Chains A and B, each alone.
Chain A
Amino acid sequence: GENVEQHPSTLSVQEGDSAVIKCTYSDSASNYFPWYKQELGKRPQLIIDIRSNVGEKKDQRIAVTLNKTAKHFSLHITETQPEDSAVYFCAAKSTNAGKSTFGDGTTLTVKP
Chain B
Amino acid sequence: IAGITQAPTSQILAAGRRMTLRCTQDMRHNAMYWYRQDLGLGLRLIHYSNTAGTTGKGEVPDGYSVSRANTDDFPLTLASAVPSQTSVYFCASSQGRADTQYFGPGTRLTVL
Chain A interfacial positions (CB closer than 8 Å to B): 31-32, 34, 36, 43-46, 49, 51, 89, 93-105
Contact among A31, A45, A105 for B42, CB-based, below 8 A: A105
Known A-B contacts A31-B98, A32-B98, A43-B90; the reply to A102 vs B42 at CB < 8 A is yes
CA distance A33 to B45 in the complex (A): 17
Q: Is B101 on the interface with A (CB-CB < 8 A)?
A: yes
Q: Do A97 and B97 touch (CB < 8 A)?
A: yes
Known A-B contacts A99-B56, A102-B43, A103-B42; the reply to A46 vs B48 at CB < 8 A is no
A5 CB, min distance to chain B CBs, angstroms: 11
| Between-chain CB contacts (< 8 Å), 6 pairs | A51-B98, A98-B50, A99-B45, A99-B48, A100-B101, A102-B42
B33 CB, min distance to chain A CBs, angstroms: 7
CA distance A34 to B99 in the complex (A): 9
B53 CB, min distance to chain A CBs, angstroms: 14
B15 CB, min distance to chain A CBs, angstroms: 26
Question: Which residues of chain A come closer than 8 Å to B101, judged between CB atoms?
Answer: 34, 46, 100
Question: Which residues of chain A come closer than 8 Å to B106, judged between CB atoms?
Answer: 43
Question: Which residues of chain A come closer than 8 Å to B50, judged between CB atoms?
Answer: 98
CA distance A107 to B48 in the complex (A): 27
Q: Is B74 on the interface with A (CB-CB < 8 A)?
A: no
Question: Which residues of chain A come closer than 8 Å to B2, judged between CB atoms?
Answer: none
Q: Do A44 and B41 touch (CB < 8 A)?
A: no
A22 CB, min distance to chain B CBs, angstroms: 15
A88 CB, min distance to chain B CBs, angstroms: 11
A11 CB, min distance to chain B CBs, angstroms: 15
B50 CB, min distance to chain A CBs, angstroms: 5
Q: Is B58 on the interface with A (CB-CB < 8 A)?
A: yes
Q: Do B99 and A32 touch (CB < 8 A)?
A: yes
Q: Do B98 and A98 touch (CB < 8 A)?
A: no
